[in-house]
Amino acid sequence: MPQAIIVIDLGGVNCYLIKTTTGFILIDTGFASKRADLEKALEAAGCKPGNLSLVILTHGDADHADNAAYLQAKYGAKIAIHPDDAGMVESGNMGINRKARPDRIAFFFRVMMWVTSHLTQSPKFEVFKPDLMIGEDFKLAGYGFDAQVVRLPGHSKGSVGILTAEGDLFCGDLLYHFMGKPACLFISDQADYDASLEKVRRLKVKTIYPGHGKAFPAEAIFGK
Ligand SMILES: [Zn+2]
């Protein structure tokens, strides 16, 4: 049975809530500054402390992982991340396992980084210890979710996607979709990134749900 996907847009950062046969799974968590909006959306869907069984982080960046410590404490949710990005959320240093000079930073991304660091007062990232280290062998079926973890390094070393049996791919920051053709705005390692994109091309993906921006058909990237 296809699972219901609830899109929660937290100021340009997407979280995806999946209603499973046993409860809820949340993919990414947004910035702490949007916590009230996140909780409102969870509540509206019937997700509350006790039935949020799992939070999967597509990678360790603050815009995706900032509410994880809170959800872990208040909802009793287990937080899952790939081990290569675990150091980021355990230390708050988002440069861990990334190139000191990333292979690509799009102009738009540079502007966003400047605005975030100069014009907004973002509180310090709340570090935490993840409960589960996940890779491609991780069994999501045990959480009532017919889907698999796909390793997609490039944006960060521990980036993962979640591919459902229906062909929906939650791709994290492999592709942003703000305007025009979906693309990645920050690539730490270009060779890893190219291999990840090729991997997605070969998988039977129908719809891509990005970390930022609207969902789009895989054809928008790979053609028919
Ligand atoms: Zn992001």
CA of 41 to the centre of ligand 1 (A): 20
Q: Which residues pair with 63 in a beta bridge?
A: none
pLDDT of amino acid 119? 63
**Beta carbons within 8 Å of 164's beta carbon, 6+ residues apart:** 2, 3, 145, 146, 147
Q: What is the pLDDT of residues 139-181, one digit of tens each?
A: 999 999 999 999 999 999 999 999 999 999 999 999 999 888 9
CA of 30 to the centre of ligand 1 (A): 9
CA of 175 to the centre of ligand 1 (A): 10
CA of 63 to the centre of ligand 1 (A): 6
Q: CB within 5 A of ion ligand 1: which residues?
A: 63, 173, 211
pLDDT of amino acid 116? 74
CA of 185 to the centre of ligand 1 (A): 9
- Amino acid identity for residue 44 in this structure: A
pLDDT of amino acid 206? 97
**Burial class of residue 147 (count of CB atoms within 10 Å of its CB; 0-12, 13-18, 19+):** buried
Q: Could you give the angle at the alpha carbon of 72 between the alpha carbons of 52 and 69, nearest 5°?
A: 135
CA of 112 to the centre of ligand 1 (A): 11
Q: Could you give the angle at the alpha carbon of 208 between the alpha carbons of 4 and 187, nearest 5°?
A: 135
CA of 76 to the centre of ligand 1 (A): 24
Q: Are 221 and 176 in contact (CB under 8 A)?
A: no
CA of 86 to the centre of ligand 1 (A): 16
pTM reported for the whole predicted model: 0.95
CA of 60 to the centre of ligand 1 (A): 9
pLDDT of amino acid 122? 61
